[in-house]
Amino acid sequence: MDFPILETERLILRQLTPNDAKDLFEYFSLDIVMEYYDLATFTHIGEAEEVITTFNTEFENKKGFRWAIELKDEKKVIGTCGYHNWFHEHFKSEIGYELNPKYWQKAYMKEAIQPILSFGFEKMNLHRIEAFIDPANISSEKLLLSQGFKEEGTMRDFFFEKGKFVDATIFGLIKK
């Protein structure tokens, strides 16, 4: 299967390539972006290259999809969004995303996530899409609620990240 390209008014959602490493490093190297991410803040561009390889390997192994969110006007990758932990036998997957802070509060992630949710239900045959977020990540919570996700509860000390246990609030979206 070829990697699907999705398009919105302002964005092209496409497969990440090694050429995107510079754009990813620009924001993966910022503590504010990595605060709720399960990776340490990047310190060299090689880490961005590795994360691109990881996302593309997930696709090749039919375990997920991670789209580059490219701004049409600037031909610049401003974030990524997609699926991981795809359990085919349970018709469910987990969604994840991040965005360069220069582009926060401009509804880019809301614009990107809509066709990705449709793709999940229609093409990946998902029945359930999950998101696990830090309870303090209010922006992420607002995004998920705006897309119809329901908060299902908070799991205490659910992940071990950056040397400490952290809670995770789970959100779910069921196919209509």
Domain containing residue 37: CATH number: 3.40.630.30
Q: At what angle do helices 45-60 and 21-28 cross, to 10 degrees?
A: 110
Is residue 21 domain-resident? Answer: yes
- Global pTM reads 0.94
Is residue 110 domain-resident? Answer: yes
Is residue 170 domain-resident? Answer: no
* Parallel/antiparallel/unpaired status of strands 164-174 and 150-161: antiparallel
Question: Which strand (E) or helix (H) includes residue 110?
Answer: helix 108-122
Q: How far apart are CA 165 and CA 133, in angstroms?
A: 13
pLDDT per residue of the chain (176 residues) written in tens, 0 to 9: 799 999 999 999 999 999 999 999 999 999 899 888 888 899 999 999 999 999 999 999 999 999 999 999 999 999 999 999 999 999 999 999 999 999 999 999 999 999 999 999 999 999 999 999 999 999 999 999 999 999 999 999 999 988 999 999 999 999 99
According to the model, what pLDDT value does residue 67 have? 98
- CA dihedral 161→47→79→148, nearest 10 degrees, is -30
* 64 exposure class (CB count in 10 Å sphere: 0-12, 13-18, 19+): buried
Please give the residue range of the domain that contains residue 34: 6-127
According to the model, what pLDDT value does residue 21 have? 97
Q: How far apart are CA 8 and CA 79, in angstroms?
A: 15
Structurally, the chain folds into a number of domains equal to: 1
Is residue 133 domain-resident? Answer: no
- Starting at the edge strand found earlier in the chain, the sheet holding 65-71 runs 6-7, 11-15, 65-71, 76-87, 92-99, 128-133, 164-174, 150-161
According to the model, what pLDDT value does residue 1 have? 75
According to the model, what pLDDT value does residue 39 have? 85
Q: How far apart are CA 87 and CA 85, in angstroms?
A: 6
Q: How far apart are CA 86 and CA 92, in angstroms?
A: 6
Is residue 136 domain-resident? Answer: no
Token duo for residue 50: 């590795």
According to the model, what pLDDT value does residue 173 have? 98
According to the model, what pLDDT value does residue 36 have? 85
Main-chain phi, psi angles of 35, to 5 degrees: -50, -45
Is residue 156 domain-resident? Answer: no
Is residue 159 domain-resident? Answer: no
Is residue 47 domain-resident? Answer: yes
According to the model, what pLDDT value does residue 162 have? 86
